[in-house]
Amino acid sequence: MARVFITGSADGLGRLAARRLVGSGHDVFLHARSAARARAAAAAVPGAHGVLVGDLSSIAETHGLAEQANGVGPFDAVVHNAGIGYREPRRETVDGVEHVFAVNVLAPYLLTALVRRPSRLVYLSSGMHRSGVPDLGDLQWRRRPWSGAQAYADSKLLDVVLAFAVARRWREVRSNAVEPGWVPTRMGGPGAPDDLAQGAETQAWLAVSDDAGARMTGGLFFHRRAREAHPLASDIAFQDGLLRACEELTGARLEPTQAGTASPE
């Protein structure tokens, strides 16, 4: 039995993954951005051990969420599922950070840096990550003309970059990304053609399964199968550039593994 924390689990893929894990006997903690959504999440996933609350668009609230997680942890797995979509206008958070980047990239980075290291980390990406062209010099979209779809694609590529960077730096942690497909969530819309259940299943599988495939690290998965990622995700200089940018914005450093720490078997 594993202890799992899933961000953005009040609805969509996160809620489905939580239900699957609870149904398999695992201890699951949910996440919602507000107290009202937390009550709805708890009602939607009977058997969950609790709901942690924090708005991921706020650096301060994300710090608070990490403190809550450490208070009820440690966790065997953390699933960074929360995210916002491609129809967003450009707007800035209370911290002056562009909203899509703040929620989709900066929040999982900060939680990764602050929450006690689990054995497994799962980051939610998208097939749109292959269209990503992120600019480390303009992550906030202050110079470029705004495109919600491009900002989203960039953020999903950056999520894979983060997953791969963590896998390289933390050799004792299995860190992977998931491409769920175009699925009929609130973000994807009712006409989305891919299998919603498979998208959620892959997150749950990577979080707890002893299958050989789920015990990999530094991979991108679609429906339980490894898939080739955008080449930039494996670019070490780009990985380090993203980590530096996130550290500058948050003040939190992703500390490397100490020498001599064993890799996952």
For residues 183 and 199, give the distance between their C-alpha atoms in angstroms, rounded to a whole number. 8
For residues 169 and 123, give the distance between their C-alpha atoms in angstroms, rounded to a whole number. 16
Q: Does the active-site annotation cover 156?
A: yes
- Token duo for residue 129: 């990550």
**What totals of helices (H) and strands (E) does the chain contain, helices first?**
8, 8
- Token duo for residue 154: 């960039």
CB 90 within 8 A of CB 67: no
For residues 261 and 31, give the distance between their C-alpha atoms in angstroms, rounded to a whole number. 31
Q: One of 86, 109, 123, 156 is an active-site residue; which one?
A: 156
For residues 169 and 71, give the distance between their C-alpha atoms in angstroms, rounded to a whole number. 25
Q: One of 86, 109, 123, 152 is an active-site residue; which one?
A: 152
Q: Does the active-site annotation cover 152?
A: yes
CB 184 within 8 A of CB 117: no
For residues 190 and 173, give the distance between their C-alpha atoms in angstroms, rounded to a whole number. 36
For residues 228 and 128, give the distance between their C-alpha atoms in angstroms, rounded to a whole number. 13
Catalytic residue ranges: 152, 156
